[in-house]
Amino acid sequence: MPIEPGQIYRSVDRRGGPAIRIERYTSGHAHAWIVDAHTGKRARWILVSTLHDSPTTRGGKTRLTGYVLERP
């Protein structure tokens, strides 16, 4: 699924972490501008390589790092 503004991702880290919302992204770029999904604060850039469609890898293992799509 392509990355689009408004999508919400959750952290796959076992320690938890904030859900994030994509605010701006230009197709083909390496970074997306994100904010905290609940408050809209803590705006920052994030590498799009850390955003995933599935909580599992191609090999079927659970992801340990990054963010997984929660709501398109």
HEC string of 11-57 equals ECCCCCCCCEEEEECCCCCCEEEEEECCCCCCCEEEEHHHEECCCEC
pLDDT tens column, 45-57: 999 999 999 999 9
Q: Give the pTM.
A: 0.90
Specify the pLDDT at position 16: 85
pLDDT tens column, 6-47: 999 999 998 988 999 999 999 999 999 999 999 999 999 999
- Domain chopping of the chain, boundaries: 8-71
How many CB atoms are located within 10 Å of the residue 44 CB? 12
Specify the pLDDT at position 1: 72
Burial 3-29 (b: 16+ CB within 10 A, else e): beeebbbbbbeeeeebebbbeebeeee
